[in-house]
Chains A and B, each alone.
Chain A
Amino acid sequence: MSRSPTSDEPKLLTDASQGGGPDPRAQVPVRDITSGVSPNRQLSELPRDELDHLAEEFGLDATKFKNRQDLVEALHERRQLIASLDREAMLDVVRWGRRPVTASASKEQIAQEIARIKSMRFAGLSQPGLVVLARLRALDATDGESVPVLVRKLKKKESIFSRLGRKRRAVIGSLISRMIGEEGPGDYQFLPGDGVAPTAAAPAPTIKEDIEESGLVGGITNRIKKTADAYLNQKLDEIEGRIDRKLDEIDRRLAEWRDKEIANRIRILKITLWASVIVAIVSLIYSYVMEVFVRHH
C-alpha cells in the first residue's frame, strides 16, 4: 500500500544542496498537486495573516515562525512533503479520522483534513497511514518503521499540557457518556465522490471520544450536528426515493399510453385497408361482369 516517497511522486523543486550535475529527480515530470498550488514567489506575496491562515490549514504553528520568510519556507517544505506522500495512505488516515473528504480530493485537500485530526487513538490506522500522520505531525518517520514505534513517536510528540487536557476531556466525556447512556459506535460513511462507491471505514466515534477530541461543548455540538446531518440525509434519501418512484410511475404510464396509442393507430389502418380491399374486390367483380358479359353480349 505504501510507496516510497522518492519513487515517482512529483517534486516541486529540485534540491539545490546537491550542487551541479543533473538531478535525477528533475527528470520526473512535474504534475499539479492541486488547483491551489502556488509557487514560492506567489506565497511570498501573500500578506502575513493569509500566510498564518494557510499555515494553520496545513497543520503548522505560525507563531513559531517569527520571520515571514521562515514561514514561507516552512509552507513550501510542507507542500513538498505533501506532494511526496502516498495518496492511498493519506486516504487511510482520512477514513480512520472520519473526515468528510471525497475520494477525488487532491492531496493538499486531504492533508488539510488530516491536519484537523487531533485524535491520539491510533487503533484501526494502517502502518502507511501512521507514517503519513507522523510526517504531517512533523515527525521523522520512515516507511519501514513498525506500528508500535510510530505510535510511540506520535505519543511522545504530544506535549504534557495537551495530554493532561485530553485526559481531562476524556474523564468529562466518560461522565457525560454514562449520564446519557450512549449506545455503541455506529457506522461511519466515508463520503464518496465522482461515482466511487462508499467505503466503510472506522466506526463512528462515541460521545466520549468526541468530547476527548474537541472538548465538552465542541464534542456535544459535533454530536448534535452529526445527528442532525444524519437525520437530514435520511430525509433527503426518502424524498429522493419518492421522486424516483414517481418518475418511474410516470415513465411506465407513458409507455403504456404509447403502446395503446400505436395499437389503436394500427387497428384504424387495418380497418381502412380491409374496407379498401373489400371495395376493390367488389370493383373487380363489377369490372369483370361489365367487361366480359354486359358489353359483349
Chain B
Amino acid sequence: MFRHLDFFDFFRWVLGTIVTIYATVITIQSLWGWVTWLSGSDKYMTMLRRYLIIHGLRLRFKTFWGDAIICLLLCVAFVIIWRAHVIIYDLGARLSNVPVAYQR
C-alpha cells in the first residue's frame, strides 16, 4: 500500500490541510470574539463602535498600498502555479497513456 507513496506529495497535502484548517479556526475564533465584544448595547460600546468606524474611515490606503499590491500579485501568482500543477498532471496522464495506445 505504501510502496507508491510519494513523501513530497504527502508532506504537501498534510501541511496544506493542517495549516488551512488551523488558520480558518483561528481567524473565525478571533472574529467571533471581536463581534461578541463589540455587540454590547451600553453607551460606551456604542461609542467605541463609532470610534472604530471613524478610525476605519480615516485609514489611508496610500500608507499600505505597496505591501497590499505585493500581496495581491502573490495571490495571482499562487493561482497561476496551481493552474500549472493541473496542466502538468494532465500532461503526465496523457504521457502515461501513450505507450498503452501504441501497444494496442
Given contacts A258-B59, A287-B88, A292-B92, whether A280 and B82 have CB atoms under 8 Å apart is: yes
Q: Which of the segments A103-111, A226-234, A264-272 contacts the partner chain?
A: A264-272
A–B complex contacts, Cβ < 8 Å, 16 sampled: A254-B55, A255-B58, A258-B55, A259-B63, A263-B63, A263-B64, A270-B67, A273-B74, A274-B74, A283-B8, A284-B88, A287-B85, A290-B92, A291-B91, A291-B95, A292-B95
Chain A contact residue count (CB 8 A cutoff): 27
The residue on B at minimum CB distance from A262 is B64
A284 engages B58 (CB within 8 Å): no
Instruction: Give the secondary structure class of A's interface.
Output: helix
- 10 more CB-based (< 8 A) A-B contacts, given A262-B59, A263-B63, A274-B74: A255-B55, A259-B63, A262-B64, A266-B64, A267-B67, A273-B74, A277-B77, A284-B85, A290-B6, A291-B89
| A161 adjacent to chain B (CB < 8 Å) | no
Q: Is A276 interfacial (CB-CB < 8 Å)?
A: yes
Tell me which residues across on chain B come within 8 A of A277, comparing CB atoms.
74, 77-78, 81
Q: Does A31 contact B (CB under 8 A)?
A: no
B12: Cβ under 8 A from any A Cβ:
yes
Question: Which residues 168-196 in A have Cβ within 8 Å of B in the complex?
Answer: none
Q: Which 8 A-B pairs have the closest CB atoms?
A: A291-B92, A273-B74, A280-B81, A266-B67, A287-B88, A296-B95, A288-B88, A277-B77
* A274: B residues at CB distance < 8 A: 74
Whether B1 sits at the interface, judged by CB under 8 Å, is no
Given contacts A266-B71, A287-B88, A292-B92, contact A281 B81 (CB under 8 A): yes
* Nearest chain B CB to A150 CB, angstrom units: 55
Residues of A in contact with B (beta carbons under 8 Å apart): 254-255, 258-259, 262-263, 266-267, 269-270, 273-274, 276-277, 279-281, 283-284, 286-288, 290-292, 295-296
Interface residues of B (CB under 8 A from A): 6, 8, 12, 55, 58-59, 63-64, 67-68, 70-71, 74-75, 77-78, 81-82, 84-85, 88-89, 91-92, 95-96
Give Cα distance in the complex from A274 to B64, angstroms.
17
Tell me the smallest distance from the CB of B95 to a CB of chain A, in Å. Answer: 5
Residues of B within 8 Å of A284, CB to CB, are 81, 84-85, 88
Write the chain B residue with the least CB distance to A286.
B8
Residue with the highest number of chain A CB atoms closer than 10 Å, among B67, B88, B91, B96: B88
Q: How far is the CB of B28 from chain A (nearest CB, A)?
A: 17
Q: Complex: how many Å from CA A292 to CA B6?
A: 16
| A55 to B: closest C-beta gap in Å | 46
Residues of A contacting B92 with CB < 8 Å? 287, 290-292, 295
Q: Would you give the shortest CB distance from A246 to chain B, in whole angstroms?
A: 16
Q: Which residue of chain B has the shortest Cβ distance to A285 in the bound complex?
A: B88
Q: Tell me the smallest distance from the CB of B41 to a CB of chain A, in Å.
A: 23
Nearest Cβ distance between residue A292 and chain B, in whole angstroms? 7
Q: Do A273 and B78 form a contact, CB below 8 Å, given A266-B71, A288-B88, A295-B96?
A: yes
Q: How far, in Å, is A180 (CB) from chain B's closest CB?
A: 51
Q: Is the CB of B95 within 8 A of A276?
A: no
* A283 adjacent to B12 (CB under 8 Å): yes
**B69 to nearest A CB, angstroms?**
10
Q: Which residue of the partner chain B has the closest CB to A258?
A: B55
Please, how many angstroms separate the alpha-carbon atoms of A292 and B67 in the complex?
37
Whether B89 pairs with A287 at a CB distance below 8 angstroms is yes
A279 to B36, CA, bound (A): 37
Using Cβ atoms and an 8 Å threshold, which residues of chain A touch B81?
A: 277, 280-281, 283-284
